[in-house]
Amino acid sequence: MKYLITGGNGQLGSALKNILPKEECLFTDVGELDVTDREAVLEMVEKEKPEYVLHCAALTNVDGCETNIELADKINHLSVEYFAEACNKVGATLFYISTDYVFDGEATSPYGVEKKPDPKSVYGKTKLAGEEAAKQAKKYYIFRTSWVYGEGNNFVRTMLKLSETMGEIKVVGDQFGRPTYALDLAKGMKEAIEKKIPYRDYHYQNSGETISWAQFASEIFEIAGKNTKVIPISTKEYLEMNAEKQVASRPHYSVLETSKLEQIGINLPDWKSSLEKYLVN
Ligand SMILES: NC(=O)c1ccc[n+]([C@@H]2O[C@H](COP(=O)([O-])OP(=O)(O)OC[C@H]3O[C@@H](n4cnc5c(N)ncnc54)[C@H](OP(=O)(O)O)[C@@H]3O)[C@@H](O)[C@H]2O)c1
């Protein structure tokens, strides 16, 4: 067994399913392996002896994390400790996926890998603790990424669904970043493994211009041929509209500096061409 994958039914897990050789993979999701169960994690890793654990399971509902702090910590952080321990026992490499939410989100230029993290949400705090746990593995990769879309629930799908019934949609226009196609990220992980790049943390984000969520929505509608109008609103207006919900603090700036992977020769496609591929398929 070469790859043991967790969160196999999620966006990234599904993308990995499309590109990794089936016979070399064991895909699991919560039904096969609950990553919060330390004994189960140790038992499966010791039994399967993978070369790589691609740990994609996470609690990604950022608002949900605010009200489920214990569960968020178990899935996003403690599970990584279990995998680091298990990987060390069998000599496997742990591949952990993290997020721009580990930063304060207030920068005005791209976050370098070495920039000091300062998470403002439960999701960001638990993912940062997960990174620290991943570093307990003797062999590890950490890829921080952002605004991921693929198979499953995501911003692109939500916008397309809303456009079926709404002529205009209010979307936040003062939070900026770059989207990342899950299939590109999966390919980047595979490339990193094949190239045997040095064990450490990296930033993986699709390249291209920095945009707001509102601009991203406009681009989605343009490529998909929808007439829905996008009305940019401020984060403040968005929070007022959702006053009854417990909304997590969102980064105003989510652009990651990706030169470490670029220098190694890992492909970081332009987000616009990847979005076109995603919407055309
Ligand atoms: N999505 C983004 O925008 C984004 C941005 C930056 C970083 N990331 C990171 O990228 C990685 C992959 O994200 P994704 O978008 O593929 O997430 P996703 O679509 O939410 O998939 C996560 C998967 O983990 C599963 N899971 C949850 N709890 C579990 C448990 N206790 N045991 C086993 N599996 C469990 C989920 O199952 P259920 O659906 O049944 O709960 C789901 O299938 C995560 O580490 C995430 O933090 C994502």
**pLDDT reported for residue 67:** 95
pLDDT band at 244 (very low <50, low <70, confident <90, very high): confident
pTM of the complete model = 0.98
Query: Which residues are 240's β-sheet partners?
Result: none
pLDDT in tens, 108-158: 999 999 999 999 999 999 999 999 999 999 999 999 999 999 999 999 999
Structure tokens at 200: 């450490």
**pLDDT reported for residue 132:** 98
Over pLDDT 90: what percentage of the chain?
96
Query: Which residues are 26's β-sheet partners?
Result: 4
Distance 129 CA to ligand 1 centre (A): 16
Q: Which residue has the tokens 């989100």?
A: 105
**pLDDT reported for residue 193:** 97
The number of beta carbons lying within 10 Å of the beta carbon of residue 166 is 12
| CATH of span 3-153+179-207+255-270 | 3.40.50.720
Distance 29 CA to ligand 1 centre (A): 10
Flag whether pLDDT at 281 surpasses 80: no
Query: What ranges do the domains of the chain cover?
Result: 3-153+179-207+255-270
Query: Does the CB atom of residue 147 touch ligand 1 within 6 A?
Result: yes
Query: Which residues are 54's β-sheet partners?
Result: 5, 95
**Residue among 127, 136, 123, 125 nearest 82 (CA):** 136
pLDDT in tens, 249-273: 999 999 999 999 999 999 999 999 9
Q: What is the mean pLDDT of the chain?
A: 97
Task: Please list the alpha-helical segments (H only) found in the chain.
Answer: 11-19, 38-48, 62-67, 69-73, 79-90, 122-134, 155-163, 182-194, 213-224, 235-241, 259-264, 271-280
pLDDT band at 245 (very low <50, low <70, confident <90, very high): confident
Query: Which residues are 180's β-sheet partners?
Result: 148
**pLDDT reported for residue 243:** 87
- Inter-residue contact 233 to 170 (CB < 8 Å): yes
pLDDT in tens, 54-112: 999 999 999 999 999 999 999 999 999 999 999 999 999 999 999 999 999 999 999 99
Query: Which residues are 149's β-sheet partners?
Result: 181
- Inter-residue contact 203 to 256 (CB < 8 Å): yes
Q: What is the 3-state secondary structure (H, E, C) of 146-184?
A: CCEECCCCCHHHHHHHHHCCCCEEEEECCCEECCEEHHH
Flag whether pLDDT at 175 surpasses 90: yes
- Inter-residue contact 119 to 132 (CB < 8 Å): no
* For the CA of 9, the nearest atom of ligand 1: 43
Catalytic residue among 123, 140, 141, 238: 123
State the Cα–Cα distance between residues 68 and 73, nearest whole angstrom: 9
**pLDDT reported for residue 50:** 98
Instruction: Please state whether 58 falls in left (phi above 0), alpha (psi between -120 and 50) or beta.
Output: beta
**pLDDT reported for residue 140:** 98
State the Cα–Cα distance between residues 23 and 166, nearest whole angstrom: 45
